[in-house]
């Protein structure tokens, strides 16, 4: 489990109480992870950018002798995220190899107005196979109060800070009002915790 504290708080699970078990396998949480004797088996395929670089698959459990083997889903279309200036350091072949068969978010710093590599990259991307590209624009010279836009080929979400973008997204995607209220409450609690940390 990558975030045991969050797991304890959100799901009211006392991790110490689970130490008495040899192995604990948990469903529901989409991110595959392991923590001591606890395995979040995760989803068998990626769903969104929360799954960045999280390999998906299944666990094979052998009983005699007891053994746990993770088998990766080689057909999963992985979510990946790269900063534009990182991709600029790679060769054309490396870019194609890393981006093939993936859903990719490319982060572009708007304060870097002289970056001409984006046009070169767009030409290289034409040679990738089975790849979806999303562009995320941010301004490293900006503070959190300035306008942020997240764009993709299906539209854009915008707001005066990241909180507003997330809530706008929830409003558009969740139709059931009870679910929407519950998700917004959890999200608001998360944002409050992050702000306290800074």
Confidence check: pLDDT of 50 > 50: yes
Burial classification of residue 37, based on how many CB atoms lie within 10 Å of its CB (0-12 exposed, 13-18 middle, 19 or more buried): middle
Average pLDDT for residues 80-106, to the nearest whole number?
90
Residues 36 and 45: their CA atoms lie apart, in Å, by 24
Residue 106 pLDDT greater than 80, yes or no: yes
Task: Note the pLDDT tens digit of each residue in 65-74.
Answer: 888 899 999 8
Average pLDDT, the chain: 78
Angle, helices 117-125 vs 92-99, to 10°: value is 60
The rounded distance, in Å, linking the Cα atoms of 126 and 96 is 9
CA atoms within 13 A on the CB side of 60: 8
User: What is the separation, in whole angstroms, between the first and last Cα of the chain?
Assistant: 24
Q: Where are the domains of the chain?
A: 4-72, 78-197
| Mean pLDDT, residues 139-163 taken together | 52
Q: Which residue has the higher pLDDT, 152 or 72?
A: 72
Is residue 146 over pLDDT 50?
Answer: no
100 close to 130: Cβ distance less than 8 angstroms: yes
């Amino acid at each position: 489990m990558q975030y045991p504290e969050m797991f304890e708080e959100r799901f009211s699970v006392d991790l110490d109480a689970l130490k008495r078990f040899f192995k604990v396998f948990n469903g529901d949480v989409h991110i595959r992870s392991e923590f001591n004797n606890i395995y979040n088996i995760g989803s068998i395929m990626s769903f969104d950018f929360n799954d960045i670089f999280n390999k998906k698959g299944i666990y094979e459990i052998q009983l005699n002798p007891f053994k746990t083997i993770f088998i990766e889903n080689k057909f999963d279309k992985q979510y990946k995220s790269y900063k534009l200036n990182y991709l600029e350091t790679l060769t054309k072949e490396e870019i194609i190899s890393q981006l093939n068969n993936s859903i990719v978010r490319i982060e572009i710093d708007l304060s870097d107005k002289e970056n001409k590599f984006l046009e070169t990259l767009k030409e290289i991307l034409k040679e990738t196979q089975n790849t979806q590209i999303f562009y995320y624009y941010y301004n490293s010279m900006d503070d959190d109060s300035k306008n942020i836009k997240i764009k993709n080929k299906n539209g854009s979400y915008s707001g005066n800070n990241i909180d507003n973008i997330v809530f706008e997204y929830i409003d558009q995607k969740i139709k059931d009002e009870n679910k929407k209220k519950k998700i917004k409450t959890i999200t608001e609690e998360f944002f409050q915790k992050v702000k306290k940390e800074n």
